[in-house]
């Protein structure tokens, strides 16, 4: 066994890790990648696709993002503090069906863009669609990597974020316990420890307090609503599109 093999959790069908390094480790050996960025990328994607929009992830808002949005005839969303449609889930309640959006972010969107390069099925998971995501990706019998995006310290290093391990744990809690790696089981334990107090926990965690200080408490409230939707955002042709669990859809794996 090589030093790299130690970190792959390959003895288990359902795995959990953090950030870009975790993605790079687990994506090559997993059939499906679930990205979790509760505050706020995957929550924003969930709300947008619920309303019939498609969302293109992009690594970060820079000049090339404008050119990319033009190339796919989509609207480049603003930064949260710029107003209008943005990474703020609250703002995306105004999205119209059929609208195409480009949503950059340094964490969840960057991970989704990177995961696509591995040729895997990529799903946006959050608290609001946790059960639907779990049922969609777990019933296939294929291997799954659930990646918590986390946030960034000022020096650019990964900051493990409580809200993302809670989102990941909510998804993983619906998996067969025997299929879970120890890392995945730990995420489930964290989620279950606060499951009855999700809103107060998110409001009081570091990321929640940061958003509240910036005037975005409602974004945190929206992100806390467990299993509010059965719509699962799946990355198809570079954009997240809706798959509705209530119609008994499953991921169309090719053999």
Residue 50 lies in a domain: yes
Tokens of 171: 């998804």
Measured CA to CA in angstroms, residue 134 lies from 45, 62, 82, 149, 244 at distances of 17, 33, 34, 17, 13
Q: What pLDDT score does 132 carry?
A: 95
- Say whether 203 sits in a helix, a strand or coil: helix
Q: Looking at mean pLDDT, say which of 14-18, 63-67, 136-140 comes out highest.
A: 14-18
Q: Which residue has the higher pLDDT, 217 or 245?
A: 217
pLDDT grade, residue 247 (50/70/90)? low
Question: Which tens digits make up the pLDDT trace of 76-112?
Answer: 999 888 889 999 999 999 999 999 999 999 999 999 9
| CATH number of the structural domain spanning residue 198 | 3.90.1560.10
Q: What pLDDT score does 63 carry?
A: 80
Q: Report yes or no: 158 and 177 within 8 Å, Cβ to Cβ.
A: no
Average pLDDT of the chain to the nearest whole number: 92
pLDDT grade, residue 238 (50/70/90)? very high
pLDDT of residue 246 exceeding 90, the answer is no
The maximal CA–CA distance of the chain, rounded, in angstroms, is 52
Question: Which tens digits make up the pLDDT trace of 55-78?
Answer: 999 987 678 999 999 999 999 999
Q: Which residue has the tokens 């005037």?
A: 215
Q: Report yes or no: 74 and 201 within 8 Å, Cβ to Cβ.
A: no
Share of the chain above pLDDT 70, in %: 93
Neighbours of 211 (CB within 10 A): 21
Return all residues near 139 (Cβ < 8 A) that are at least 6 apart: 250
Q: What pLDDT score does 228 carry?
A: 97
pLDDT of residue 139 exceeding 90, the answer is no
Residue 238 lies in a domain: no
Residue 8 lies in a domain: no
Share of the chain above pLDDT 90, in %: 85
Strand 144-148 relative to strand 14-18: parallel, antiparallel, unpaired? parallel
Cα atoms in the 13 Å half-sphere on the side-chain side of 240: 35
Of 52, 64, 49, 53, nearest to 100 by C-alpha is: 53
Mean per-residue pLDDT, 158-171: 98
Tokens of 108: 């969840």
Mean per-residue pLDDT, 159-165: 98
Q: How many domains does the chain have?
A: 1
Q: What pLDDT score does 62 carry?
A: 72
Question: Which tens digits make up the pLDDT trace of 194-214?
Answer: 999 999 999 999 999 999 999
Give CA–CA dist 124/141, Å, rounded: 19
Residue 254 lies in a domain: no
Tokens of 191: 């989620």
Domain extent, residue 126, equals 14-232
Mean per-residue pLDDT, 129-136: 95
Check: pTM over 0.85? Answer yes or no: yes
Tokens of 145: 């990597």
Residue 226 lies in a domain: yes
Q: Give 108: exposed, middle or buried? Use CB within 10 Å, 0-12, 13-18, 19+.
A: buried
Residue 247 lies in a domain: no
pLDDT grade, residue 251 (50/70/90)? low
Residue 242 lies in a domain: no
Residue 248 lies in a domain: no
């Amino acid at each position: 066994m090589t030093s790299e093999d130690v970190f792959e959790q390959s003895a288990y069908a359902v795995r959990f890790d953090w950030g870009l390094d975790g993605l790079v480790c687990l994506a090559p050996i997993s059939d499906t990648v679930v990205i979790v960025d509760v505050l706020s990328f995957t929550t924003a994607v969930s709300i947008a696709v619920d309303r019939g929009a498609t969302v293109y992830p992009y690594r970060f808002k820079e000049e090339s993002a404008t050119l990319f949005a033009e190339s796919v005839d989509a609207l480049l969303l603003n930064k949260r503090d710029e107003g209008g449609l943005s990474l703020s889930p609250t703002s995306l309640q105004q999205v119209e069906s059929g609208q195409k959006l480009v949503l950059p972010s340094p964490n969840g969107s960057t991970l989704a863009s990177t995961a696509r390069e591995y040729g895997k099925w990529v799903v946006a998971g959050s608290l609001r669609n946790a059960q639907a995501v779990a049922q969609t990706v777990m019933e296939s019998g294929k291997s799954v990597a659930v990646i918590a995006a986390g946030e960034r310290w000022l020096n650019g290093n990964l900051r493990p974020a409580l809200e993302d391990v809670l989102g990941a744990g909510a998804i993983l809690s619906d998996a067969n316990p025997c299929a879970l790696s120890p890392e995945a089981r730990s995420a489930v334990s964290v989620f279950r420890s606060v499951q009855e107090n999700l809103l107060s926990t998110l409001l009081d965690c570091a990321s929640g307090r940061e958003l509240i200080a910036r005037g975005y408490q409602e974004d945190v409230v929206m992100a806390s609503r467990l299993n509010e939707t059965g719509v699962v955002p799946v990355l198809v042709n570079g954009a997240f599109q809706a798959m509705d669990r209530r119609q008994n859809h499953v991921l169309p794996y090719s053999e």
